[in-house]
């Protein structure tokens, strides 16, 4: 890994941080990843991702049997059949679109993928539109 920069070729790296390394992290890649993971931008996006996950859980809790999922800056709610399923998802998507928020529908699920430049205030407004 330490020679990857000198190879001048494409390289795919799969990271699996399970805290079971046999040696301490060293080298340019380790330094680069440490800089990224401690940057203000990364920490801000990580916090926004947590807020998005919490908001999706709140939305799902308002619909009996529905489930939320979130990963990074992507969040979704799978609306249970008992809560209207695909019909309700379509109505939510249409209403949000009328209010200026584009959600990605997928059957009985709705997904929100805000841009990485989103602010906390904007994310709050997006969630507010969905809740209305």
Q: What's the whole-number average pLDDT of the chain?
A: 87
| CA separation for the pair 99, 121 (Å, rounded) | 16
Please name the residues in contact with 25: beta carbons below 8 A apart, sequence gap of 6 or more. Answer: 34
pLDDT at 112 over 70: yes
pLDDT at 68 over 80: yes
| CA separation for the pair 6, 45 (Å, rounded) | 32
pLDDT of residue 54: 94
Contact (Cβ atoms closer than 8 angstroms) between residue 73 and residue 41: no
How far, in whole angstroms, is CA 117 from its chain's centroid? Answer: 13
- What is the number of alpha carbons within 13 Å of residue 35 lying toward its C-beta? 7
Q: Give the model's confidence band at 17: pLDDT under 50 very low, under 70 low, under 90 confident, else very high.
A: low
Average pLDDT score over residue span 83-91: 93
DSSP character string of 107-120: TTEEEE---TT--H
Q: Give the model's confidence band at 108: pLDDT under 50 very low, under 70 low, under 90 confident, else very high.
A: very high
Can you point out the beta strands (E) in 26-94?
67-71, 74-78
pLDDT of residue 22: 75
Would you tell me how many other CB atoms lie within 10 Å of the CB of residue 17?
9
Average pLDDT score over residue span 75-93: 93
pLDDT at 110 over 70: yes
């Amino acid at each position: 890994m330490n020679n990857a920069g000198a190879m001048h070729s494409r390289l795919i790296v799969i990271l699996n941080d399970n805290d079971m390394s046999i040696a301490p992290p060293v080298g340019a890649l380790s330094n680069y990843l440490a800089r990224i993971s401690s940057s203000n931008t990364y920490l801000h996006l990580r916090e926004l991702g947590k807020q998005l996950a919490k908001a999706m859980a709140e939305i799902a809790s308002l619909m009996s049997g529905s489930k939320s999922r979130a990963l990074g800056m992507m969040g979704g709610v799978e609306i249970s059949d008992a809560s209207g399923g695909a019909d309700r998802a379509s109505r939510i998507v249409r209403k949000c679109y009328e209010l200026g928020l584009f959600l990605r529908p997928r059957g009985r699920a709705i997904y929100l993928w805000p841009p990485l430049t989103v602010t906390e205030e904007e994310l709050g407004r997006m969630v507010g539109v969905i809740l209305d």
